[in-house]
Amino acid sequence: MKVVVIGGGAWGLPTAAELATRGHTVHLVDCYGIGNALASSSGPSRIWRIGDPDPRRVRLGRRGLAALERLQGFTEIPLFRRQGMLWRHPETAAALVRTAEAEQLDHELIPADRVPAVFPGLRGDGRDAVLLPDAGTLVADRVLETQLARFRAAGGRLSTGRHAVSVERRTSGPRIRFADGTHDDADAVVIAAGPGAKRLLESLDLPAPLHTHLEQVVHFAARAGVDGDALPVLFDGPREDEPGIYAMPSLGIGYKIGLDGPLRAHSDDDHDRTPSPDRTEQLRARVARDFGALVPDPLDAQVCSWTDTPDGDFVLDAVGDGIVIGCGDVGEGFKYSALMGLVLADFVDGLPQDDDVLAYGIRRFDPGAAPHDFSEATRIGQHSDRR
């Protein structure tokens, strides 16, 4: 089967690699190249975790870890590290613990006075926390490099600089049209185009309630005598008028911290990824106050994108005529990257999916619904509240 995959990011590239490995003829198309600075999947690190208030995400998280371990078998270079995660947000911790107990997931309740012992140097603020041992850091750029090596070894073809503008249904298979006036015909197409997915869904007259945000992260160095790579991953939830933060080690680079909230909305013609000095200062001040193990001097800053949905859940579906959709990463797409390659490839091959995957179908959105207000972005651990 000839398959065109649109988008070479955290979901599209693994899908292309898996399909090529299964013997399909695969053409992967990406506007700007693998791991480019405009992509949602660029950068050195991402969080992986199994724990979540949503039972479905826990089950997918387990499958995601198994898929990641499978990917690790293709390279001797470490792709992930298990440091554990500290979850300090009482408003979602109760649901997190209930789900962990129901799904038999390891977790530990950490009283407020023990928090600084679990996360060296983290300021105690009177809030209890939950420790999730099955969590840590993905070496994101290595993950993409490994998938790209799989793709090339299986004979896949990569084209960059081509901008897909529409997908057409045809009885003989989908036709993908590009901005340069050319087109590709295929037996199947996978739309995994990140911020570009919305216009492609619209070209198919499918509901496309997607909205892309830009977000900023900043790296900080560990203080002398502190092994920054060994620090836990952190979700420090919002309190009063102060936004939450998420944080993780970028192995060998520094400790990466971001606010759990967008920098600004993104538009198709917005190629500006200049970090905001105000956001950098906001994070620097948080580090100076709350992170005794870190030096409050920014090493660097990066702006990237992520795509939101009205209910804070992914969009995974096969909609007929050889058209498969994988979009709406809601800021958590990379932790499921290896799994999504398998899931989307199974959609292409017409294999059955379980209820956890089928729940993310695009038909859950009403085409006639009023436009969703995305001024309130999906927050960590609160996506299930938006269903």
**Roughly what angle, to the nearest 10 degrees, separates helices 55-72 and 337-348?**
90
* Per-residue confidence (pLDDT) for residue 241, from 0 to 100: 87
Residue of 248, 247, 255, 203 lying closest to 226 (CA atoms): 255
Rounded average pLDDT over 341-348: 99
SS3 state at 173: coil
Predicted confidence (pLDDT) per residue in 63-111, tens digit: 999 999 999 999 999 999 999 999 999 999 999 999 999 999 999 999 9
How many domains is the chain built from? 1
Rounded average pLDDT over 268-274: 89
Give residue 133's Cα distance to chain centre.
Answer: 20
Place of tokens 């991402």: 46
The parent domain of residue 229 ranges over 2-386
Task: Say yes or no to pLDDT of 385 above 70.
Answer: no
Alpha helix stretches (DSSP H) within the chain: 12-21, 55-72, 90-102, 115-118, 140-153, 197-203, 277-290, 337-348, 355-358
Rounded average pLDDT over 296-302: 98
The helix (H) or strand (E) run that includes residue 264 is strand 264-265
Task: Say yes or no to pLDDT of 384 above 80.
Answer: no
Question: Strands 315-318, 233-236: parallel, antiparallel or unpaired by DSSP?
Answer: unpaired
Task: Say yes or no to pLDDT of 368 above 90.
Answer: no
How many angstroms separate the CA atoms of 308 and 273, rounded? 19
Q: Which residue has the higher pLDDT, 276 or 267?
A: 276
Task: Say yes or no to pLDDT of 207 above 70.
Answer: yes
Here the CATH number for the domain that contains residue 263 is 3.50.50.60
